Amino acid sequence: MREKILVVTSNEISGYQETEHLGIVQGSTVKSRNFLSDFLASLKTIIGGELVGYSKLLASARSQAYDRMLQEAEEKNADAIVSFRFQTSSIAKGASEILAYGTAIKIKGKLNE
- Which three-class secondary structure state does DSSP give residue 79? coil
Q: Is residue 20 part of a domain?
A: yes
Q: Is residue 1 part of a domain?
A: no
Q: Quick one: angle between helices 35-47 and 52-75, nearest 10?
A: 130
Whichever domain contains 49, its CATH number is 3.30.110.70
Closest to 18 in 3D by CA, of 111, 84, 107: 107
CA dihedral sign, ordered 70, 105, 86, 30: negative
| Per-residue pLDDT at 1 exceeds 50 | no
Report the pLDDT value the prediction gives residue 95, as an integer from 0 to 100: 79
Q: Is residue 81 part of a domain?
A: yes
Percent of the chain with pLDDT over 90: 58
In angstroms, the CA 29 to CA 93 distance is 16
Q: Residue 52 corresponds to which amino acid?
A: V
Count structural domains, the chain.
1
pLDDT digits over 28-38, tens only?
999 876 655 55
Domain range enclosing 21: 6-110
pLDDT digits over 31-72, tens only?
876 655 555 556 556 666 766 777 788 899 999 999 999 999
pLDDT digits over 68-107, tens only?
999 999 999 999 999 999 999 988 777 789 999 999 999 9
pTM: 0.81
